[in-house]
């Protein structure tokens, strides 16, 4: 799209400014103060309480990455970082373990492949979420172009930076993929009304210590009107977000403070004001870009024809008789050996595929022929989740995250290894995917998990609040509630009891979790102690790589 070139020029200019300031901050205390005030908005984050290193998060359009880009970034982290690309829960790769003096080098290096870090962190508008299957599966319509248009729009200048806190946007291509639009600051769900493409608009959602589902602002807007709402809700947030108390600074706290009726009244007022300011100009601008996008090559043009059923849940049937395959690296970390193996495989296919970064620490390789589907599965066998439970994931943990309370990856390893034992593995087929966050900030989204855990620390060890009993298939979702807590060391045994009940009674997890005996099961684990577990054993198992 033509807009991308213009935005890229501005990003290059800002990149040079932030590189210059980063270098100056190494020796000039006054420049360091200036740098510290803005560095997080350009994704320069300190890591761990004693590591002294930095994390960097580039922006990925539509969460796509090419084999060449993957290989290049792996070379950057091998030279300047800790050797891994880490998949986040917002469709990004993060670069970790960067020494401060190397930050300018890394910023310069990634820009050569078109990657920039503006507004990916800090009090800014974050990555725009879309389903990784949009444009590939049967859907209402492809929302990838809308994501690209939104991303360029928010990067044009600094209007969408320096907000009270982060501002999150999501699109969905159909109802089945609409969960994220219902938990973000603003979300757009693709719908068709009277033969016209458009969106249902959600506002005011968010997860954290105090969570809120989004509410419906509009049942239908036309396809080319979404930028009016993106900008108007930014204005609501900028004017009414709490700039004094960061813990209460998200848009959802404006909703919680005002109540639904007054919040919707406020939002509608801002939408009307922004329409009055812009008139039809923004609609015409958006329509032109959408029409341009419609002329671009459609890599997966055609109907979805599922020729056969697969037991493997990692396989996605796509358009034009092609398939997608999900890869799940351990802890969401990709290292050079595996990354190069994947890149080489894709380049040698002889036809086009693409790679999408997901919001659940997986990659989706899209556009595979049937025979290559199974070649990829065999080649990347270590990246095979196998079942819903073995696709469980955690946040990055307190070893890396400054605000984290618990170091969750080793705890998840401990849980998964328990069920990898030959005598236990069959039970894993009865368990849901679990999501484990190390603190109430909820990066692993336990509030929308089938079964979620959120970390806290007590005098006698690591504990987790247990999240469950949400309902996610209605027009407005009901988030999970906290229904108890459990010590980290007891989680595998608690899950084993759940699996045994489901297996013996041939029931669904959702039935069991809503029964009183589920609470009784949690209470049972307060009554006895198990042998102490040193999670450093699991942490050290990966020490030769990143940890």
Q: For 281-307, what is each residue's pLDDT tens digit?
A: 999 999 999 999 999 988 888 888 765
Alpha carbon distance 338, 261 (integer Å): 52
Q: What is the pTM of this model?
A: 0.95
Do 144-295 and 392-540 agree at the fold level? yes
Alpha carbon distance 184, 167 (integer Å): 8
Kindly list the domain boundaries of the chain, sorted by start residue. Answer: 2-111, 144-295, 315-383, 392-540
How many helices (H) and strands (E) the chain has is answered by 16, 19
Q: Give the tens place of pLDDT for each residue, 510-543.
A: 999 999 999 999 999 987 777 777 777 766 665 4
DSSP 388: S
455: helix, strand or coil: strand
Alpha carbon distance 321, 369 (integer Å): 8
CB 274 within 8 A of CB 235: yes
DSSP 248-281: G-SHHHHHHHH-HHHHHHHHHHHHHHHHHHHTTH
User: Class of the 2-111 domain?
Assistant: alpha beta
Q: CATH assignment of 392-540, given 3.40.50.300, 3.60.150.10, 3.30.413.10, 3.20.20.450?
A: 3.30.413.10
CB 152 within 8 A of CB 3: yes
What is the per-residue pLDDT for 5?
65
Burial code (b: 16+ CB inside 10 Å, e: under 16) for 238-274 equals: bebbeeeeeebbbbbbbbbebeeeebbebbeebbeeb
Q: Give the tens place of pLDDT for each residue, 108-164.
A: 999 999 999 999 999 999 999 999 999 999 999 999 999 999 999 999 989 999 999
Higher pLDDT, 221 or 538: 221
What is the per-residue pLDDT for 539?
65
DSSP 490: G
Q: Give the tens place of pLDDT for each residue, 200-212.
A: 999 999 999 999 9
CATH code of the region 144-295: 3.30.413.10
Alpha carbon distance 511, 529 (integer Å): 28
pLDDT band at 352 (very low <50, low <70, confident <90, very high): very high
Evaluate if residue 342 carries a pLDDT over 50.
yes
The token pair at 452 is 């979620």
Evaluate if residue 10 carries a pLDDT over 90.
no
What is the per-residue pLDDT for 535?
74
Evaluate if residue 489 carries a pLDDT over 90.
yes
CATH code of the region 315-383: 3.30.1370
Alpha carbon distance 155, 10 (integer Å): 9
Evaluate if residue 14 carries a pLDDT over 60.
yes
Percent residues over pLDDT 70 in the chain = 96
DSSP 106-150: HHHHHHTTT---TTSSSSSB-PPB--TTTTTSS-S---HHHHHHH
CB 58 within 8 A of CB 117: yes
Closest CA to 187 of 438, 476, 386: 476
Could you identify the residue written with the tokens 């070893």?
A: 399
What is the per-residue pLDDT for 6?
60
């Amino acid at each position: 799209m033509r807009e991308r070139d213009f935005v890229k020029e501005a990003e290059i200019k800002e990149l040079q400014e932030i590189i210059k300031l980063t270098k100056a901050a190494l020796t000039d205390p006054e420049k360091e103060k200036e740098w510290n005030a803005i560095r997080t908005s350009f994704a320069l984050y300190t890591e761990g309480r004693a590591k002294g290193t930095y994390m960097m998060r580039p922006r990925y359009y539509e969460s796509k990455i090419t084999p060449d880009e993957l290989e290049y970034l792996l070379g950057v982290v091998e030279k300047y970082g800790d050797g891994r690309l880490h998949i986040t829960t917002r469709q990004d790769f993060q670069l970790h373990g960067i020494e401060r003096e190397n930050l300018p080098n890394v910023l310069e290096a990634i820009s050569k492949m078109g990657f920039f870090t503006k507004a990916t962190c800090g009090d800014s508008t974050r990555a725009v979420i879309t389903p990784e299957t949009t444009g590939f599966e049967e859907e209402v319509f492809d929302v990838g172009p809308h994501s690209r248009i939104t991303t360029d729009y928010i990067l044009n200048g600094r209007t969408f930076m320096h907000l009270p806190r982060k501002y999150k946007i999501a699109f969905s291509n159909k109802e089945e993929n609409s969960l994220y639009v219902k938990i973000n600051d603003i979300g757009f769900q693709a719908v068709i009304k009277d033969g016209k493409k458009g969106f249902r608009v959600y506002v005011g959602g968010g997860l954290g210590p105090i969570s809120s589902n989004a509410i419906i602002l509009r049942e239908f807007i036309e396809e080319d009107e979404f930028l009016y709402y993106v900008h108007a809700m930014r204005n609501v947030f900028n004017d009414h977000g709490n700039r004094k108390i960061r813990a209460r600074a998200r848009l959802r706290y404006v909703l919680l403070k005002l109540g639904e009726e007054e919040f919707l009244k406020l939002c509608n007022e801002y939408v009307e004001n922004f329409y009055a300011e812009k008139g039809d100009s923004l609609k015409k601008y958006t329509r032109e870009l959408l029409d341009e996008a419609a002329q671009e090559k459609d890599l997966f043009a055609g109907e979805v024809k599922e020729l056969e059923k697969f037991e493997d849940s990692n396989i996605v049937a796509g358009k034009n008789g092609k398939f997608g395959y999900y890869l799940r690296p351990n802890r969401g970390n990709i290292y050079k050996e595996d990354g190069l193996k994947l890149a080489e495989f894709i380049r040698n296919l002889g036809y086009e595929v693409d790679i999408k970064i997901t919001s659940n620490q997986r990659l989706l390789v899209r556009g595979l022929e049937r025979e290559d589907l199974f070649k990829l599965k065999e080649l990347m066998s270590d990246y095979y989740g196998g079942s819903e439970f073995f696709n469980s994931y955690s946040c990055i943990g307190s070893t890396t995250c400054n605000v984290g309370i618990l170091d969750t990856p080793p705890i998840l390893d401990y849980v998964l290894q328990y069920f990898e034992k030959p005598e236990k593995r069959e039970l894993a087929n009865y368990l849901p995917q679990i999501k484990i966050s190390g603190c109430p900030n909820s990066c692993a989204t336990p509030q929308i998990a089938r079964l979620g855990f959120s970390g806290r620390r007590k005098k006698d060890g690591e504990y987790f609040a247990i999240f469950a009993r949400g309902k996610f298939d209605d027009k407005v979702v009901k988030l999970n509630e906290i229904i108890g807590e459990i010590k980290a060391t007891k989680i595998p045994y608690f899950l084993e009891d759940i699996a045994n009940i489901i297996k013996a009674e041939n029931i669904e997890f959702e039935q069991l979790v809503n029964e009183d005996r589920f609470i009784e099961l949690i209470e049972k684990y307060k009554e006895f102690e198990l042998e102490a577990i040193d999670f450093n054993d699991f942490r050290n198992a990966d020490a030769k790589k990143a940890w």
